[in-house]
Amino acid sequence: MITHERALAAIGTVPDPEVPAISVVELGVVRAVTVSDAGAVTVTITPTYSGCPAMFEIERDIRTALEDAGASRVEVRTVLSPAWTTDWMGPEAREKLRAYGIAPPGRAEQDGLITLTRARPPVACPFCGSHETELRSEFGSTACKAIHVCRACQQPFDEFKAI
């Protein structure tokens, strides 16, 4: 019979399909896990971006991991509120991203309209640590990333966008 603890551990092994350095739990998309007396597991997830195509894989991978861990039945629910924010990623997840070559997200903006006049602070290069970097593309290989280039070590790198 699967316990709540085992269910959490099983979900903790599911990598983010697009950024496999961190788990879906570390990504912050897993919002709640409940286990019934009969061993049925209900997992509540929230999408990163509205159109994130990885949500289907995440749901499937969570289901498989829980079934392998002995869940009698698995239900994966999707909720939109509260909206996902990169502020839910903890220090460990951020360090794993950096070690993987992705600059971790800064603080998400809580204020109103963004203005053109305010320049974004430079993002630290995940390879050499230099702040001599520039934004190359506001959109990257996945919805959650932007592309920068480091002027110090000449290395282009992804940034996990703060939202």
Binding-site ranges for another protein (CB under 8 A)? 47, 49-53, 79-85, 108-109, 112-114, 116, 136-141, 143, 147, 161, 163
Q: At what angle do helices 55-68 and 4-12 cross, to 10 degrees?
A: 130
Q: Report, in Å, the least distance between residue 143 CB and another protein.
A: 6
CB of 37 or CB of 81, closer to another protein: 81
- Tell me the closest approach of the beta carbon of residue 138 to another protein, in angstroms: 5
- C-beta closer to another protein: residue 139 or 152: 139
Please work out, in degrees rounded to the nearest 5, the angle formed at the alpha carbon of residue 145 by the alpha carbons of 141 and 146: 95
Comparison of 54 and 66: residue with beta carbon closer to another protein: 54
- End-to-end C-alpha distance for the chain, whole angstroms: 39
Least spacing, CB of residue 139 vs another protein, in Å: 4
The helix (H) or strand (E) run that includes residue 62 is: helix 55-68
Closer by beta carbon to another protein, 9 or else 135: 135
Nearest to 163 by CA among 123, 122, 106: 106
Element housing 24 (H / E): helix 24-27
